């Protein structure tokens, strides 16, 4: 049925603006208000793509362009279908009723690219700042980028998006900064108006306690190093102490040995047969108290005031 705005208009076309993705289908409906008409002509851009004849119902279809009749007793409506649309199809789409009138709509063809959160999942400590980078490449027009955390839309002030034009397409980079308070599902969404559902890339933010394993490992490492150092010092100290004790013992043994040797030298005697006098070793003279004369002295004794000699003589 014609709308109130279409009353008095000989031809109505809907939708007035169609936005579709490359390789999708575009559909337009043309409704003549007059019950009797002869020829309907469809044009995309400046090219006539299809012709419909009311009397015969004949339609000149092609691989990309075709028409479907939805006429009832109450209204007349023909639908134009454009398949595998391309960027070159963007522009006016016109339905013209011969000798009655025409209406023009607009077709916009957009391109969907790719979206990806660089780096994948992240694991950080609670309270630290996580940084996520979303890369959206090969879009037309410039894609709309948004973020969600656990399904909740992130405020625009929390991320920054820049764009780069590459030929007829756009690339965008969006950076999200988020202070980690708990585990979260992070999504980057990219879309253009022709998409009914945004393209998504998802990663996980895993928040954990400080890495106690690393801390323990560092502590154990330093503790082991300190213990090893103390052990080495103790071993060196013990070795020095034993060496010193051994040295002292050897000195004492050496001293005692030397003393014994000296005592032996002082008390040793050598008998000289030439003069029948006992002489000390090493040429040293002993005291008279320690000597015994083999010829005339039987005994030599030492008193406090000197030496007293006793001679025994036999008279015949």
Together in a domain, 86 and 148: no
Q: How many whole angstroms separate alpha carbon 120 and alpha carbon 116? A: 9
Together in a domain, 63 and 83: yes
Contact 107, 18 (CB under 8 A): yes
Please write the tens of the pLDDT for every residue from 99-133: 999 999 999 999 999 999 999 999 999 999 999 99
Give the residue from 188, 208, 228 where a domain finishes: 208
What does 85-140 look like in DSSP terms, one character per residue?
--GGG-EEEEEEETTTEEEEEEEEEEB--EEEEET--EEEETTSEEEEEEEEEEEB
Q: Quick one: which H or E segment has residue 166? A: strand 159-166
Token match 């490492």: residue? 221
Does residue 40 form part of some domain?
yes
Backbone angles phi, psi at 160, to 5 degrees: -130, 130
Is 211 in a helix, a strand, or coil? Answer: coil
Tokens of 47: 């090219």
Is 32 in a helix, a strand, or coil? Answer: strand
Q: Quick one: which H or E segment has residue 82? A: strand 78-82
Burial of 176 (0-12, 13-18, 19+ CB in 10 A): buried
Task: Count Cβ atoms below 10 Å from residue 190 Cβ, excluding itself.
Answer: 25
Together in a domain, 161 and 183: yes
Does residue 172 form part of some domain?
yes
Q: What sign for the dihedral angle of Cα 30, 99, 57, 48?
A: negative
pTM of the predicted model as reported, rounded to 2 decimal places: 0.62
Does residue 183 form part of some domain?
yes
Q: What sign for the dihedral angle of Cα 277, 278, 280, 281?
A: positive
Contact 42, 56 (CB under 8 A): no
Together in a domain, 97 and 155: no
Q: pLDDT in tens for each of the 316 residues of the chain? A: 444 444 457 999 999 999 999 999 999 999 998 888 999 999 999 999 999 998 888 888 889 999 999 998 888 999 999 999 999 999 999 999 999 999 999 999 999 999 999 999 999 999 999 999 999 999 999 999 999 999 999 999 999 999 999 999 999 999 999 999 999 999 999 999 999 999 999 999 999 875 555 455 556 566 777 778 778 887 877 777 776 666 666 676 666 666 655 555 544 444 444 444 444 444 444 444 444 444 444 444 444 444 444 454 444 4
The CA R_g of the chain, rounded to the nearest whole Å, is 60
Q: How many whole angstroms separate alpha carbon 188 and alpha carbon 201? A: 5
Does residue 215 form part of some domain?
no
Rounded to 5 degrees, what angle do the CA atoms 163, 168, 169 make? Answer: 40
Does residue 233 form part of some domain?
no
Together in a domain, 102 and 123: no
Contact 178, 149 (CB under 8 A): yes
Strand order from edge to edge, sheet including 65-69: 11-14, 26-32, 78-82, 65-69
Contact 168, 87 (CB under 8 A): yes
Does residue 118 form part of some domain?
yes
Give the residue from 92, 110, 128 where a domain finishes: 110
**Nearest-CA neighbor of 114 among 220, 193, 6, 189?**
189
Domain extent for 304: 269-310
Please write the tens of the pLDDT for every residue from 41-55: 999 999 999 999 988
Query: How many separate domains does the chain show?
Result: 3
Together in a domain, 122 and 43: no
Together in a domain, 150 and 69: no
Q: How many whole angstroms separate alpha carbon 294 and alpha carbon 40? A: 172
Token match 């400046």: residue? 46
Does residue 253 form part of some domain?
no
pLDDT for 155: 95
Backbone angles phi, psi at 22, to 5 degrees: -55, 140
For position 204, which CATH number holds? 2.60.40.10
Q: Quick one: which H or E segment has residue 200? A: strand 199-208
Give the residue from 180, 208, 236 where a domain finishes: 208
Does residue 59 form part of some domain?
yes
Q: How many whole angstroms separate alpha carbon 273 and alpha carbon 57? A: 170
Together in a domain, 142 and 162: yes
């Amino acid at each position: 049925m014609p709308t109130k705005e279409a009353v008095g208009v000989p031809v109505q076309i809907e939708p007035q603006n169609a936005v579709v993705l490359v390789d999708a289908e575009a559909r337009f409906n043309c409704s003549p208000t007059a019950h009797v008409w002869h020829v309907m002509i469809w044009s995309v851009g400046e090219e006539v793509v299809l012709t419909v004849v009311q009397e015969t119902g004949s339609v000149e279809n092609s691989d990309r362009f075709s028409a479907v009749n939805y006429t009832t007793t109450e209204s007349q409506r023909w639908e134009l279908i454009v398949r595998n649309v391309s960027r070159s199809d963007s522009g006016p789409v016109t339905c013209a009723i011969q000798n009655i009138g025409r209406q023009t709509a607009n077709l916009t063809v957009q391109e969907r690219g790719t979206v990806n959160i660089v780096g994948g999942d992240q694991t950080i400590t609670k309270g630290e700042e996580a940084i996520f980078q979303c890369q959206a490449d090969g879009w037309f027009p410039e894609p709309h980028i948004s973020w969600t955390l656990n399904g909740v839309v992130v405020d625009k002030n929390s991320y920054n998006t820049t764009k780069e034009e590459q030929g007829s397409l756009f690339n965008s980079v969006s950076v999200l900064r988020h202070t980690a308070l708990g585990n979260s599902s992070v999504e980057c969404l990219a879309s253009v108006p022709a998409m009914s559902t945004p393209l998504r890339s998802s990663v996980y933010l895993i928040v954990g306690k400080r890495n106690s394993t690393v801390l323990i490992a560092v502590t154990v490492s330093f503790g082991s190093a300190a213990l090893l150092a103390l052990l080495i010092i103790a071993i060196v100290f013990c070795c020095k102490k034993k060496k010193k004790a051994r040295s002292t013992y050897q000195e004492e043994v050496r001293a005692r040995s030397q003393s014994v040797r000296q005592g032996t030298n002082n008390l040793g005697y050598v008998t000289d047969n030439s003069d029948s006098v006992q002489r000390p070793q090493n040429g040293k003279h002993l005291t008279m108290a320690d000597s015994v004369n083999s010829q005339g002295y039987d005994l030599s004794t030492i008193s406090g005031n000197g030496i007293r000699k006793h001679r025994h003589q036999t008279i015949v």
